[in-house]
A = this chain, B = another copy of it.
Amino acid sequence: MAAADDNLCCVDSVPRGIDEDQAAVLSAVFSALADPVRLQIYACIAATEEICSCNLEVPVGKSQPTISHHTAKLASAGLIVGERRGRWMWWRVVPGMAEASLHAIRAFAPSP
Q: Which residues of A contact B (CB under 8 A)?
A: 9-11, 14-18, 20, 23-24, 26-27, 30-31, 33-37, 39-44, 46-48, 51-52, 54-55, 58-60, 88, 95, 98-99, 102, 105-106, 108-110, 112
Contacts and interface: CB of A to CB of B under 8 A. Distances in A.
B30 A18 contact: no
A95 B112 contact: yes
Given A9-B54, A95-B112, A98-B102, A20 B47 contact: no
A15 B105 CA distance: 31
Contacts of A51: 15
B46 A23 contact: no
A14 B46 contact: no
A17 B72 CA distance: 18
A92 to B, nearest CB: 11
A40 B21 CA distance: 11
A40 B60 CA distance: 32
Contact of A23 (B40, B102, B108): B40
Nearest to A37: B23
